């Protein structure tokens, strides 16, 4: 919703409260990429894939071993975007997102599901990996477009290679969790 009112000096101020709830799709990226752990793959079988999807019921569906492999490949492709952004290679990061957007087209639709206000949502056609990839790529593209590439990060803590989406891109050290921040500061 866009709200316009008079500011302090009588100038119209436009506030975007919730134009679209599409930035939340970027969380899909973090949820998937952070299943990667060098010691134990948290996306090791169909049950762990179903577990990942439980937090997003609109993405649920029948999954196969082919879907599991597609999700692992998607995880690798999304991680490459974060690594490129962290290395300052914005062209490579943008190309990675663009390739995903081309491979997994987005089909928006107005929806008021679950008693929420009308908002843009994605049509839920295609396989689970296709729907997941479309939402993740679109969310990531919106984050880059609104916050810039600095919003994409890899955790600064030792022994952690999780990714994160920074809310405050002005911070120089960023952590994926409070635990990593505390561990790094010796608390």
Which structural domains are found in the chain, ordered by start? 21-185 (1.10.3300.10)
Confidence (pLDDT) at 154: 92
Q: Taking the chain (187 residues) in consecutive chunks of 10 residues, what is each chunk's mean pLDDT?
A: 49 44 83 88 94 86 96 97 96 98 86 79 82 93 92 90 85 82 80
Confidence (pLDDT) at 120: 77
- The tokens describing 186, both together, are 């010796």
What Cα–Cα distance (Å) separates residue 35 from each residue in 72, 152, 163, 175, 183? 9, 17, 10, 16, 21
| Pair 61, 128: CB distance under 8 Å | yes
Radius of gyration of the chain (CA): 18
Q: What is the separation, in whole angstroms, between the first and last Cα of the chain?
A: 42
Confidence (pLDDT) at 94: 98
Helix (H) / strand (E) element for 69: namely: helix 65-86
Confidence (pLDDT) at 111: 80
Confidence (pLDDT) at 11: 53
- What's the distance, CA 138 to chain centroid? 8
Read off the pTM. 0.82
């Amino acid at each position: 919703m866009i709200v316009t009112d008079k500011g302090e000096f009588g100038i119209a101020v436009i506030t975007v409260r919730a134009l679209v709830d599409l930035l939340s799709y970027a969380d899909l990226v973090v949820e998937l990429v952070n299943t990667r752990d060098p010691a134990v793959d948290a996306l090791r079988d169909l049950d762990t894939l179903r577990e990942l999807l439980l937090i997003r019921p609109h993405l649920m569906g029948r999954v196969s071993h082919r879907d599991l492999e597609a999700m692992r490949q998607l995880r690798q492709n999304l991680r490459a975007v974060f690594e490129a952004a962290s290395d300052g290679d914005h062209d490579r990061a943008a190309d990675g997102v663009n390739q995903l957007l081309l491979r997994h087209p987005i089909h928006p639709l107005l929806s008021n599901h679950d008693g929420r206000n009308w908002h843009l949502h994605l049509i839920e056609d295609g396989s689970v990996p296709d729907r997941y990839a479309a939402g993740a790529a679109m969310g990531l593209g919106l984050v880059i477009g609104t916050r810039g590439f600095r919003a994409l990060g890899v955790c600064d803590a030792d022994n952690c290679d999780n990714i994160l989406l920074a809310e405050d891109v002005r911070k120089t050290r960023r952590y994926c969790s409070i635990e990593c921040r505390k561990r790094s500061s010796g608390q």
